[in-house]
Amino acid sequence: GLDLPDVCLGIHWKVSISMNMPWQCFGRAARGNGIEGHVILIAEKVHWNDK
């Protein structure tokens, strides 16, 4: 894996079968001391409940 402590934004495209992969990617944001991180998950329409 990568150790980039100053990364403060993570973007994950597509939902995985398991949440382990995106969760691990989310954990890569803001690994440095004193910084805030944000993540964006872009999911396909099939995962949205429009009802």
**pLDDT tens by residue, 9-35:** 888 787 777 777 777 777 767 776 777
For 6-49, the DSSP string reads T--EEEEES--SSTHHHHHHHTTTT-STT---EEEEE--GGGS-
Return the amino acid letter for 19: M
Q: Are 5 and 34 in contact (CB under 8 A)?
A: no
**Mean pLDDT value across residues 29-42:** 78
Is pLDDT above 80 for 5? no
Is pLDDT above 70 for 7? yes
48's tokens: 């949205």
Q: How many angstroms separate the CA atoms of 7 and 36, rounded?
A: 9
* Higher per-residue pLDDT: 21 or 40: 40
pLDDT of residue 32: 66
pLDDT of residue 45: 78
